[in-house]
């Protein structure tokens, strides 16, 4: 498996930023890499990204020198397996609300001894044509990032148990779904929602996990980083709209 520059950056205590891409547009992957982002989040949950689409986007990321992460549609072994077999270097798994959810995600994403991911000569393993599968398993377990999406109030209640799961590298906050689970759909600035977000960040940082969240503006990024967040994401369409408005404003 290829070197995961994003994982190495985080291991050095750095910050990583990437756009959320919900469409199959390899040229956009190249553009965001040239703009300076160090990863791209391929969104197969809310976006229209098939496994075949994902493979093309992963190729573009590899050629551009940024880390491809895929958000899978469900926390299911068959979905995680197929998207990771494209060569994605990380997987963001939605709806991690309990220790069992986190363990299920890790088992599906990692190979023995932490997981039970299906092993074959796929693109991720260079089709079994370069080196041994034993070497690939070792490298894949070392290079892969497993991210859990914390987006339900139940996850906040179960956070200590979730954070204790070995093999889960990052927790990422989903503020919109979190607000809905708290009876405040879409109101991510509601005091109770903000308090829950603050608690997720506090516990994640204290446990030594990387914490990520969606930050739509540079100001939001600065605030998040000051609180200990080290992974920030932004919707690519939001970035486009911001740039367009600034341009039209003269």
Compute the CA torsion angle 19, 52, 175, 203 (nearest 10 deg).
-90
pLDDT at 181: 97
Q: Check whether 131 has a pLDDT greater than 90.
A: no
Query: Which has more confidence, 153 or 132?
Result: 153
Structure pTM? 0.96
- Neighbouring CB atoms inside 10 A of 122's CB total 17
Confidence band for 2, pLDDT divided at 50, 70 and 90: confident
What average pLDDT does the segment 16-25 reach?
A: 98
Q: Check whether 47 has a pLDDT greater than 80.
A: yes
Q: Check whether 1 has a pLDDT greater than 80.
A: no
pLDDT at 43: 99
Q: Which of 3, 39, 46, 48 is catalytic?
A: 46
Second CATH level (architecture) for the domain 5-248: Alpha-Beta Barrel (3.20)
Q: Residue 46 catalytic?
A: yes
pLDDT at 136: 94
pLDDT at 86: 98
Phi, psi angle pair for 195, to nearest 5°: -65, -40
Q: How many residues does the chain have?
A: 250
User: What's the gap between Cα 103 and its chain centre?
Assistant: 16
Phi, psi angle pair for 114, to nearest 5°: -85, -20
pLDDT at 130: 86
Name the residue ranges covered by the structural domains of the chain.
5-248
For 76-116, the pLDDT digits (tens) are 999 999 999 999 999 999 999 999 999 999 999 999 999 99
For 170-198, the pLDDT digits (tens) are 999 999 999 999 999 999 999 999 999 99
The SS3 assignment for 4 reads coil
What average pLDDT does the segment 111-132 reach?
A: 93
């Amino acid at each position: 498996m290829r070197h995961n520059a994003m994982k190495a950056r985080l291991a050095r205590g750095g910050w990583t930023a990437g756009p959320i891409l919900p469409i199959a547009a390899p040229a956009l992957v190249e553009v965001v890499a040239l703009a300076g982002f160090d990863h791209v989040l391929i969104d197969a949950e809310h976006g229209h990204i098939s496994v075949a689409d994902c493979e093309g986007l992963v190729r573009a990321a590899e050629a551009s020198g940024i880390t491809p992460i895929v958000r899978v549609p469900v926390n299911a072994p068959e979905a995680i397996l197929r998207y990771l077999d494209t060569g994605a270097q990380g997987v963001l798994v939605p709806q991690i609300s309990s220790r069992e959810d986190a363990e299920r995600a890790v088992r599906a994403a990692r190979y023995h001894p932490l997981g039970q991911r299906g092993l074959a000569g796929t693109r991720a393993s260079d089709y079994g044509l370069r080196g041994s599968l034993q070497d690939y398993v070792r490298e894949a377990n070392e290079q892969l990032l497993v991210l859990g999406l914390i987006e339900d109030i139940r996850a906040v209640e179960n956070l200590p148990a979730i954070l204790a799961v070995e093999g889960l590298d990052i927790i990422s906050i989903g503020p919109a779904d979190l607000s809905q689970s708290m009876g405040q759909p879409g109101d991510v600035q509601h005091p109770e929602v903000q308090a829950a977000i603050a608690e997720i960040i506090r516990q994640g940082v204290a446990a030594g996990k990387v914490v990520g969240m969606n930050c739509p503006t540079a100001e939001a990024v600065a605030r998040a980083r000051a609180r200990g967040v080290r992974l920030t994401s932004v919707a690519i369409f939001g970035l486009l709209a911001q740039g367009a408005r600034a341009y039209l404003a003269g």
